[in-house]
Structure 1
Amino acid sequence: MDPRPTPAGGEELATRVLSALAGLFVLFLVLWAGLLLILPALFLVFLLGTLELKEMLARRGIALNLPFLLGGGGLLFLFSLPPLYWHFPQVPWREVALGLFLMGSLSYELLKGADLTRFAFTLFAFLYLPWSLGYVLLLRETPDSALGLWTLSLPLVASFATDIGAYFVGRTFGQRKLAPEISPGKTVEGSLGGIAVSFLALALYTGLVREVFPFGLLELWLFSLLLSLAAQLGDLVESMLKRYCGVKDSGRFLPGHGGLLDRIDSLLFTFPLTYFLVVLFT
């Protein structure tokens, strides 16, 4: 078989690249603007992702408790705002939001039919989307508003580099399947390629902003390895979810890229991990 891409394949790749560049431009504009723009943008991402998840799960006859999920997610975003931690550091704000969500949604099921499947998947959606996305607000102000943009860029660089490395190395050298029952297209070689490209990208990136990230080589290797593995885990989790629901893409968000969840799946795992690692390392 001729390995060269067909014209249609070339057009599809061009569409993917152009839509990705447009998405990246909007993304970095929002992140640069700070919390006032990030907060509504996060809620929009959360809303669109929730609707995609709702449609996917509906194919399996599973419903989500949307009022509690959207209300609890909005509350969690507000409770993830850094000024709360600056003025009241003794209060575990995010855990308070999680506790209120759990008590409220469980009480609802006790009074309205005791649908434990709905409760379980609503809790999963809460942890999968707003809980993970809320770390964006904390990262944007870590260690302060001036340097927070650089900190927040770490999971973006690691995730995108992992995705690019895994794609091209996997297509060129891929032989052994990584998780054939979940995502037959992913290979061990692609996974290793993603880890290597992520390390190279972070080494170059942190070298350019050395005053912000004074990592040693060993620390940087551990940092990039964990972030790359988290990005691949997030990708596999979403693949498992799509296979469970019997869909190819989570939706139609960007031309050539599928749904919104298809684009942010790795970030949902790298955002929280980055926050924990940055706090630990610095």
Structure 2
Amino acid sequence: MPDAAQPAPKPQKKSAGRDLSAAIGVGVGLGAVIVASLFIVKAVFVGVVAVAVVVGLWELTKRLDERKGIRAPLVPLALGGAAMVVAGYVRGAEGAWVAMALTTLAVLVWRMTEPPENYLRDVTAGVFAAFYVPFLATFVAMMLTADDGPQRVLTFLLLTVVSDTGAYAVGWRFGRKKLAPRISPGKTREGLVGAVGFAMVAGALCLEFLIDDGAWWQGLVLGLAVAVSATLGDLGESMIKRDLGIKDMGTLLPGHGGIMDRLDSLLPTAPVVWLLLVLFVGSG
């Protein structure tokens, strides 16, 4: 007797690979804290940025030690990183550069208290961490010093989030051609187009309605630049994580990974937004 026909397997649905409900809940909570601190007291927002920088440095140095045995000194990085953000807010670019230089010196001296083996490797990683996390974050603090500083920072955050959302939404639905398969297999060229389109529309709206003396066409340029820098930032951290052999930098944020997994596209985008806004509407 012939076997009964087996039912055809159900097609597999695409999955985001994370707990979407947890990711949304954590994202909304973080957004509420950030926006509240941004528009209530500027100094509180600077403190939020400094805390994020310190936690990001902790995650990065911990992963470097665990996976590669690289011991970038956390104490001078954390203290110098927080000071860098505050200096950027109080003294602008000059203060940020001075704090960066002093942090580098502190890393070099602090590592001297341990045996000389791998000294150059460890301090190189420390200087890289100081530039990658706190120095780039100082541009957020410098944005805040303008008269319309909260609106500039909000524009920066919105455009980065919208770019990431556009890339995810379009890539998930229409993505076929891989953007950089050896670095981040989930990213597609169609997703990049989505990021550019979403960010340019959001940029035009933000420059027209949020930024003093801004124009819609400037927002188009800004949105394009943000989509490119955010994508490169995401790919850059993916490169680091692939080298370390890890999926996430941490587990602090359910559905997101660690703080560094949320800062990846924000950090390289901050100087881009700061510079373009200064060119378009001045330093405020």
Q: Is contact 2:84-2:138 (8 Å) kept?
A: yes
Q: Is contact 1:73-1:131 (8 Å) kept?
A: yes
CA distance in 2, matches of 1:273, 1:110: 36
Q: Is contact 2:73-2:110 (8 Å) kept?
A: no
Say if 2:247 is the partner of 1:248. Answer: yes
Q: How far has the Cα of 1:23 moved from its partner?
A: 1.4
CA distance in 2, matches of 1:101, 1:16: 34
CA distance in 2, matches of 1:223, 1:49: 26
Say if 2:20 is the partner of 1:21. Answer: no
Q: Deviations over 1:14-38 (max 9, x none)?
A: 2222221111111111212333212
Q: How far has the Cα of 1:47 moved from its partner?
A: 1.7
Q: Which runs of 5+ in 1 are unaligned?
A: 86-90
CA distance in 1, matches of 2:18, 2:68: 34
Secondary structure of the residue aligned to 1:134 is helix
Q: Is contact 1:52-1:250 (8 Å) kept?
A: yes
Q: Which residue of the partner structure matches residue 77 of structure 2?
A: 69
Letter in 2 for 1:77: V
Q: Deviations over 1:103-151 (max 9, x none)?
A: 3333455675261111111011101111011122211122x1xx11111
Q: Deviations over 1:224-263 (max 9, x none)?
A: 1111111111111111111111111111122211111111
Moved more, 181-190 or 101-110: 101-110
Q: Is contact 1:56-1:242 (8 Å) kept?
A: no
Secondary structure of the residue aligned to 1:184 is strand
Give the CA RMSD over aligned residues.
Answer: 2.3
Q: Which residue of the partner structure matches residue 106 of structure 1?
A: 108
Q: Which residue of the partner structure matches residue 115 of structure 1?
A: 119
Q: Assess, with a 3 A threshold, how the Cα gap between structure 1 residues 53 and 11 changes in structure 2: closer, same or farther.
A: closer
Q: Deviations over 1:66-95 (max 9, x none)?
A: 12212221321232123x35xxxxx92222
Q: Assess, with a 3 A threshold, how the Cα gap between structure 1 residues 167 and 108 changes in structure 2: closer, same or farther.
A: same
Q: How far has the Cα of 1:206 moved from its partner?
A: 3.0
Letter in 2 for 1:38: F
How many residues of Structure 1 are paired with residues of Structure 2 in the alignment? 269
Q: Is contact 1:173-1:189 (8 Å) kept?
A: yes
Say if 2:145 is the partner of 1:141. Answer: yes
Q: Which residue of the partner structure matches residue 236 of structure 1?
A: 235
CA distance in 1, matches of 2:22, 2:104: 42
Q: Assess, with a 3 A threshold, how the Cα gap between structure 1 residues 130 and 111 changes in structure 2: closer, same or farther.
A: same
Letter in 2 for 1:56: R
Structure ID, larger Rg: 2
> 1:75-224 alignment to 2 at 5 Å?
75-82=83-90, 84=91, 92-109=94-111, 112=114, 113=116, 115-142=119-146, 144=147, 147-209=148-210, 212-217=212-217, 219-224=218-223
CA distance in 1, matches of 2:185, 2:127: 29
Letter in 1 for 2:103: F
Q: Assess, with a 3 A threshold, how the Cα gap between structure 1 residues 111 and 25 changes in structure 2: closer, same or farther.
A: closer
Q: Is contact 2:203-2:216 (8 Å) kept?
A: no
Q: How far has the Cα of 1:267 moved from its partner?
A: 0.7
CA distance in 2, matches of 1:70, 1:81: 17
Q: How far has the Cα of 1:160 moved from its partner?
A: 0.6
CA distance in 2, matches of 1:251, 1:105: 23
Q: Which residue of the partner structure matches residue 261 of structure 1?
A: 260
Secondary structure of the residue aligned to 1:81 is helix
Q: Which runs of 5+ in 2 are unaligned?
A: 1-9
CA distance in 1, matches of 2:30, 2:175: 28
Secondary structure of the residue aligned to 2:179 is strand
Q: Which residue of the partner structure matches residue 3 of structure 2?
A: none
Q: Which residue of the partner structure matches residue 54 of structure 1?
A: 61
